[in-house]
Amino acid sequence: MNTILEVQNLTKTYEKSDFSLNNVSFSIPSGSIMGFVGENGSGKTTTIGCILNTLIKDSGTVKIFGKEVADDSTDIRNDIGVVYDTNCFPEHLTPANISSAMRQIYSKWDNELFKEHLRKFKLPEKQKIKAFSRGMTMKLGVSVALAHHPKLLILDEATSGLDPIVRDDILDTFLDFVQDESHSIFLSSHITSDLEKVADYITFIHDGSIILSEKKDDLIYNYGVMRCKAAQFEEIDRADMLAYRKHDYQIDVLVSDRKAVEKKYRDVVIDNISIEEIMLMLVKGEKQ
């Protein structure tokens, strides 16, 4: 399977800010969706900015379709569709205006495909964007991103703040997109239910560092949470724990091999775990 996006040891610091991106590394195989999860301010948008070269990285490499991204990589950016979490288009424009400008910019801009997406999302072609709701604006962003036949979609919180119906429409569109094996999606979000629905891989970022990057199915089927009492917790081998959280009457322990742990600790209850719970355990729990 080809790698469509490869990020190696990416670092980025800001003047007048303590935040930094620390040696971020991950890769996305073609034909897959990677969910990029982290709390607000964890570095998701900074990572995306460095991938797209909208932010100047301090060090590290970003390769898309096997080529390093730079200011003059216009051929690479022709194959990338981007959706941000806010409306990026001037408000006085209509979707038809956007199309007439985009055909000058993207070499594979397909006006018919754009109109098809507008129809699918029930967006008026000749209405000014300033009259659009947030959901309509995000659908427009997705339509623009898809209308130039990209191979890679990069989405920065594209589904945040949307109602479940609109989110579902957009997620279905993403699933259609990756039916083509040469396509991939990098989807940053803190709505973990969206990622559980569509992602093949999940990467967690916290305080500018990658803390976990795994196949979603491995996380859901192999990871688990042990519900322990204090005495049980003391008997657990620390090597089996990824993180733990102490509650009033219980200690939750995150483990990466549920079946092995079930055999080893027969008197402890071990539950399945959701992506959201893994994120909370990794971010708020104490590490081993």
Least distance in Å: CB of 98 to other proteins?
A: 8
Least distance in Å: CB of 113 to other proteins?
A: 10
**Counting contacts by CB under 8 A, is residue 107 touching other proteins?**
yes
Gap between the Cα atoms of 109 and 100, Å rounded:
10
Question: Quick one: CA dihedral 179, 104, 154, 11, positive or negative?
Answer: positive
Out of 1, 104, 249, 267, name the contact with other proteins by CB under 8 A: 104
**Counting contacts by CB under 8 A, is residue 109 touching other proteins?**
yes
Judged by CB, which is closer to other proteins: 55, or 283?
55
Judged by CB, which is closer to other proteins: 87, or 193?
87
Judged by CB, which is closer to other proteins: 75, or 237?
75
Gap between the Cα atoms of 208 and 219, Å rounded:
21
Site string for other proteins, 64-103 (x = CB under 8 A): -------xx-xxxxx-x-x-x-xxxxxxxx---x--xxxx
Beta strands 269-271; 59-64: pairing state? unpaired
**Counting contacts by CB under 8 A, is residue 127 touching other proteins?**
no
Site string for other proteins, 192-211 (x = CB under 8 A): --------------------
- Interior/surface letters 47-81, b for 16+ CB within 10 angstroms, e for the rest: bbbbbbbebebeebebbbbeeebeeebeebbbbbb
Tokens of 96: 């038809």
Judged by CB, which is closer to other proteins: 18, or 248?
18
Strand partners, 240: none
Considering CB under 8 A, how many residues would be counted as binding other proteins?
A: 38
Out of 2, 9, 54, 182, name the contact with other proteins by CB under 8 A: 54
**Counting contacts by CB under 8 A, is residue 20 touching other proteins?**
no
Angle at CA 107, nearest 5°, toward 30 and 1?
A: 10
Least distance in Å: CB of 26 to other proteins?
A: 19
Gap between the Cα atoms of 247 and 229, Å rounded:
10
**Cα dihedral 89, 90, 94, 96 in deg (nearest 10):** -60
Judged by CB, which is closer to other proteins: 14, or 221?
14
Question: Quick one: CA dihedral 35, 37, 40, 42, positive or negative?
Answer: negative
**Counting contacts by CB under 8 A, is residue 36 touching other proteins?**
no
Contact 20, 12 (CB under 8 A): yes
Site residues (vs other proteins, CB under 8 A): 14, 49, 52-56, 71-72, 74-78, 80, 82, 84, 86-93, 97, 100-110, 154
